[in-house]
Amino acid sequence: MKLLRSVLLATGLAAAILAPVAASAQDVKPRLIRFGYGLSESSNQGRAVKFFVEEMAKRSGGKLKVKGFADASLGSDIQMQNALIGGAQEMMVGSTATLVGIVKDFAVFDLPFLFNNEQEADAVFDGPFGQKLAAKLNEKGLVGLVYWENGFRNLTNSKRPVTKVEDLKGIKLRVMQNPVYIDMFNGFGANAVPLSFSELFTAMETGTVDGQENPVTTIQSSKFYEVQKYLTISKHVYSPWIVLASKRWYDGLSADERKIIAEAAAASRDFERKDSREASKQSIAYLKDKGMQINELSDAELGRMREMVKPAMDKFAAEGGADLLNELQGEITKVRK
Ligand code: TF8
């Protein structure tokens, strides 16, 4: 190469030949990137993956080919996390709640009634606190790229309307595989059943569980209205998704490739949040139309729930989470208007 260059320089061809190369001076190789996710292709998650696929193609001149795998076809969130750590899969998006087995600190986001609105969440996840937690994934073999919005979680079930906490008594409620969720819903009197999302629809259909909790966008896109009659707008937790890369794979990329991924990921975050928020505004009417009976919770009832959930909060603090929770609450106060 060196020799060739000097020959070219000598012959004066250098400018003509090297200039176009320099203009796209990017160290980008053709690569196939498998990107797994749990929801359907037509969900807000699926739309944002599609956006990311397109951004990557655009920004890399078609070299970085991302292939999206919907419906947990590469595995549940936890299975995919492990595939990323092992280097068998390149990328995924999933709940932060299922990362607690890898970085315990993520459980702080699962504590209920922390955020008042999406803007507070954006500021905290994109700010130093969210970034600090994401960085903790590095030593575990994962790269946390950006947070997407899953949304405020609401309750559904097939048994009865939930207008007060007592209505949850005895309801077998699927929760994510995460101790905070288990403690929280057992604290409300339900029987919390931890289960991966990919098993959830069948579990509700067969009556293994009576209910679940997820944002309205997911209740719509996963067609939970087919097996759930009652929806309670409880907004008990603001739930983020996190876009992850395999560190083993990522470390082998060039700086240019990493830059493209980081920029495409940031663009996908902005797209996803806007899209999810718009979609969620339509969901309630859609779900009503599908026959769901929907109710809100009064402020008084939400206040009672906050009280009932204190033991779960205290347990989190007592088990080493106190400083982290204080720090998070401090960050939220800073951005609260
Ligand atoms: C859940 C989450 C799901 C995610 C998704 C499959 O209930 O809310 O949105 O795990 O990535 O499991």
Question: What number does the ligand 1 atom closest to the CA of 38 have?
Answer: 6
Written in H, E and C, the secondary structure of the chain is CHHHHHHHHHHCCHHHHHHHHHHCCCCCCCEEEEEECCCCCCCHHHHHHHHHHHHHHHHCCCCEEEEEECCCCCCCHHHHHHHHHHCCCCEEEEECHHHCCCCHHHHHHHCCCCCCCHHHHHHHHHCHHHHHHHHCCHHHCEEEEEEEEEEECEEEECCCCCCCHHHHCCCEEEECCCHHHHHHHHHCCCEEEECCHHHHHHHHHCCCCCEEEECHHHHHHCCHHHCCCEEEECCCCEEEEEEEEEHHHHCCCCHHHHHHHHHHHHHHHHHHHHHHHHHHHHHHHHHHHCCCEEEECCHHHHHHHHHHCHHHHHHHHHHHHHHHHHHHHHHHHHHCC
Distance 296 CA to ligand 1 centre (A): 22
In a domain, 131, yes or no: yes
| pLDDT tens by residue, 245-279 | 999 999 999 999 999 999 999 999 999 999 999 99
| pLDDT tens by residue, 66-124 | 999 999 999 999 999 999 999 999 999 999 999 999 999 999 999 999 999 999 999 99
Mutation to probe ligand 1, out of 35, 73, 77 (largest number of atoms < 8 A from CB) = 77
Question: Does the CB atom of residue 177 touch ligand 1 within 6 A?
Answer: no
Q: What is the CATH number of the domain that holds 63?
A: 3.40.190.170
Q: Which domain holds residue 113?
A: 28-335
In a domain, 22, yes or no: no
Q: How many domains does the chain have?
A: 1
In a domain, 121, yes or no: yes
In this predicted complex, what is the ipTM? 0.98
In a domain, 243, yes or no: yes
| pLDDT tens by residue, 303-332 | 999 999 999 999 999 999 999 999 999 999
In a domain, 20, yes or no: no
- Give the per-residue pLDDT at 22: 42
Question: In this model, does residue 13 exceed pLDDT 90?
Answer: no
Atom 6 of ligand 1 has which residue's CA nearest to it? 38
In a domain, 7, yes or no: no
Question: Does the CB atom of residue 218 touch ligand 1 within 6 A?
Answer: yes
